[in-house]
């Protein structure tokens, strides 16, 4: 009974340590599974290396974006609603004439 318990405990220790699967890991070495995954490790290393620089660039870009939107909002506040209405009416009239001209041209080509 003692031998059975000892064998079971030894087997579970081997499974959890990876020794049963040939995953013997020496000091300072990565397990084989991590070693084979070099592409993602390279990406992770690159991300770690340039992470701070990228974060600084993102903060700068966000700051510039906020400045642009603030300038745009300021420009919007200064607009005259009457001028905007006139501008919109002119544009609608122009679009209507353009569509009318297109229909006349279409009708001529059908005959």
pLDDT tens digits along 82-97: 888 899 999 999 999 9
- Domain count across the chain: 2
pLDDT over 60 (residue 18): no
Contact 18, 24 (CB under 8 A): yes
pLDDT tens digits along 30-80: 655 555 555 555 566 666 666 667 777 777 777 777 777 777 776 666 677
84 and 106 belong to one structural domain: yes
What is the value of pTM for the model shown? 0.29
40 and 73 belong to one structural domain: yes
Cα gap 98→106, rounded to integer Å? 12
In a domain, 66, yes or no: yes
In a domain, 17, yes or no: no
In a domain, 14, yes or no: no
60 and 84 belong to one structural domain: no
Cα gap 85→87, rounded to integer Å? 5
In a domain, 9, yes or no: no
In a domain, 18, yes or no: no
Model confidence at 100, in pLDDT bands (50, 70, 90)? Answer: very high
């Amino acid at each position: 009974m003692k031998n059975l318990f000892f064998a079971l405990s030894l087997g579970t220790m081997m499974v959890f340590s990876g020794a049963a699967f040939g995953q013997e890991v020496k000091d300072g070495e990565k397990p084989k599974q991590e070693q084979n995954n070099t592409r993602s490790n390279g990406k992770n290393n690159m991300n770690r290396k340039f992470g701070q620089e990228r974060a600084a660039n993102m903060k700068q870009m966000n700051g510039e974006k906020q400045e642009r939107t603030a300038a745009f909002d300021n420009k919007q506040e200064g607009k005259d609603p009457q001028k905007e209405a006139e501008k919109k009416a002119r544009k609608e009239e122009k679009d209507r004439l353009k569509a009318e001209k297109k229909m006349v041209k279409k009708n001529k080509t059908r005959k």
